[in-house]
């Protein structure tokens, strides 16, 4: 862990971001310098050792994987190099649902200390478990990523995630406590109370979805709260993508440093990767705990380093529910060159799109992230938007609802029409298919307490 002289510099409001902007990365803490700054040779040697052990462990303890590997003619001793991971079967969400609830568990429930699950809104939920060692790895990964954001021991962290079966709240809670932070388990909702607690308790770190953080910001402004003088200095975001425009706006209006992280329930929860302050559009993967691949989402074959593809993850330490080659459906690129922050673990581009959230509209592929990027470059609208897809006269049609900023709102039809036509033209130029655009008055798009839902696809399946 970084020494006190290094961490002291980033406890002042805005100091971490200023240090990063000035290239003074030695002023920023690194939680576990020995592993986070290890050579690629040492990282890959550790990964191979762990991969061999994990495959043997999984084959011995999980009948589902043993059957799959036997059918493919592959045995644990066939794993001799990291590339041999491609001999193993892929896993996806279907496997966890088909074996619901405990069919992929490698240990009896008597050895499990915590259970979590997905919402199960589209079928049976995905159920995962954690042994004491699993919880230790989880909290360690979180402690690393919050240090990347400039969080230090002694910070006061306020949780605006829900707890429950969702992995986000507990994962960040455990990791922040492990680092030495005081936790305020406020949970989600009751926004005015959140703002009062920030002031009353001297909260320095806010954990939230980016859309809810933006809502807290807006409610505070409506209350007359002065964010510039608040004790808050770091935002830790997760649960949904955080477009660059939204992040920049929250940083500007709340006067804090914001980072987001990546994870998913099936392989651990949050903590798979985290954003450092040297590369704001990438996240360091915890490579000693996760072996990554990037594959063509159609063929499953690997793509060249730095090319876009689907992220596939093999956790290397999981005991309760080991998972081999989990297909995330998240699209990203991975880079292995060292980072200016001093860390050597590979960096993945932040996930903005999924292979399964692509909309096909009149034969054209449309990703919500493309719409986000266009709207973020238009001064008159907020980051809040909604996409409605439907069928009219046998043809796909879609509408983009976007919210006006108060200063852009006008009773003049002509001025509103100019803004709408400008948005429609830019969207068509990017998407190559023309949407309808509907302007919504300030505050007219509902704010999400949890994960924001941007797409309403009303087409008959």
Please list, residue by residue across 131-156, b when 16 or more beta carbons sit within 10 angstroms of its beta carbon and e when fewer do. beebbebbbbbbbbbbbbbbbbbebb
By C-alpha distance, which of 317, 334, 342, 348 is closest to 147?
A: 342
CB 157 within 8 A of CB 203: yes
pLDDT in tens, 172-213: 999 999 999 999 999 988 999 999 999 999 999 999 988 899
CB 179 within 8 A of CB 205: no
pLDDT in tens, 396-450: 888 999 999 999 988 888 899 999 999 999 998 888 888 999 999 998 988 776 6
Q: What is the pLDDT of residue 454?
A: 83
pLDDT band at 4 (very low <50, low <70, confident <90, very high): very low
**What DSSP string runs through 48-106?**
HHHHHHHHHHHHHH-HHHHHHHHHHT--GGG--SGGGGGGSPPB-HHHHHHTTTTTT-S
Q: Is 90 exposed, middle or buried (0-12, 13-18, 19+ CB in 10 A)?
A: middle
CB under 8 Å to 407, separation ≥6 — which residues?
none
Q: What's the rounded Cα separation, in Å, for the pair 318 and 192?
A: 39
Look-up of token digits 């919880």: 135
Q: What is the pLDDT of residue 26?
A: 84
More confident residue, 120 or 81: 81
Of the given ranges (18-32, 62-76, 120-134), which has the lowest mean pLDDT?
120-134
pLDDT band at 8 (very low <50, low <70, confident <90, very high): very low
CB 384 within 8 A of CB 371: no
Q: Give residue 326's Cα distance to chain centre.
A: 16
DSSP assigned state of 10 = T
pLDDT in tens, 58-109: 999 999 999 999 999 999 999 999 999 999 999 998 999 899 999 999 999 9
Query: Residue 340: CA atoms inside 13 Å, Cβ hemisphere, count?
Result: 14
Q: What is the pLDDT of residue 245?
A: 84
Instruction: Compute CA distances 25 → 149, 343, 420, whole Å.
Output: 12, 11, 43
Q: What is the pLDDT of residue 450?
A: 66
């Amino acid at each position: 862990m970084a020494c006190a002289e290094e961490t002291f510099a980033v406890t002042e409001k805005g100091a971490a971001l200023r240090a990063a902007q000035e290239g003074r990365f030695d002023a920023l803490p690194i939680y576990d310098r020995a592993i986070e700054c290890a050579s690629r040779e040492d990282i890959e040697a550790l990964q191979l050792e762990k991969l061999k052990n994990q495959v043997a462990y999984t084959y011995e303890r999980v009948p589902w994987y043993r059957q799959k590997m036997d059918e493919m003619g592959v045995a644990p001793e066939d794993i001799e190099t990291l590339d041999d991971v491609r001999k193993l079967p892929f896993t996806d969400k279907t496997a966890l649902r088909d074996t619901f609830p405990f069919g992929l568990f490698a240990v009896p429930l008597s050895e499990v200390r915590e259970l979590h699950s997905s919402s199960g809104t589209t079928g049976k939920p995905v159920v995962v478990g954690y042994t004491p060692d699993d919880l230790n790895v989880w909290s360690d990964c979180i402690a690393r990523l919050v240090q990347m954001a400039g969080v230090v021991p002694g910070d006061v962290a306020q949780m605006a995630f829900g707890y429950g079966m969702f992995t986000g709240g507990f994962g960040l809670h455990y990791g922040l406590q492990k680092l030495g932070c005081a936790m305020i388990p406020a949970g989600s909702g009751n926004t005015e109370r959140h703002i009062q607690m920030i002031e009353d308790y001297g909260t320095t770190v806010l954990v939230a979805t980016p859309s809810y953080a933006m809502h807290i910001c807006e409610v505070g402004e409506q209350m007359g709260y002065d964010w510039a003088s608040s004790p808050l200095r770091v935002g830790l975001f997760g649960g949904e993508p955080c477009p660059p425009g939204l992040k920049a706006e929250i940083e500007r209006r709340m006067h804090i440093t914001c980072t987001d992280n990546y994870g998913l329930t099936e392989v651990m929860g949050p903590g798979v990767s985290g954003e450092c302050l040297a590369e704001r559009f990438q996240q360091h993967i915890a490579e000693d705990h996760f072996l990554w691949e990037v594959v063509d989402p159609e063929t499953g074959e690997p793509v060249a380093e730095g090319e876009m593809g689907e992220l596939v993850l093999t956790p290397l330490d999981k005991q309760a529910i080991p998972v081999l080659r989990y297909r995330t459906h998240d699209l990203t690129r991975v880079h292995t060159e060292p980072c200016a922050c001093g860390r050597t673990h590979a960096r993945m581009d932040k996930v903005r799109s999924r292979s399964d959230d692509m909309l096909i509209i009149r034969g054209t592929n449309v990703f919500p992230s493309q719409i986000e990027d266009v709207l973020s470059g238009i001064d008159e609208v907020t980051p809040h938007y909604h996409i409605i897809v439907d069928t009219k006269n046998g043809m796909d049609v879609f509408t983009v609802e976007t919210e006006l900023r108060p200063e852009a709102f006008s009773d003049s039809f002509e001025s509103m029409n100019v803004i709408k036509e400008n948005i429609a033209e830019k969207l068509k130029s990017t998407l190559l298919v023309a949407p309808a655009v509907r302007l919504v008055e300030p505050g007219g798009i509902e704010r999400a307490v949890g994960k924001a839902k941007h797409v309403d696809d009303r087409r008959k399946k």
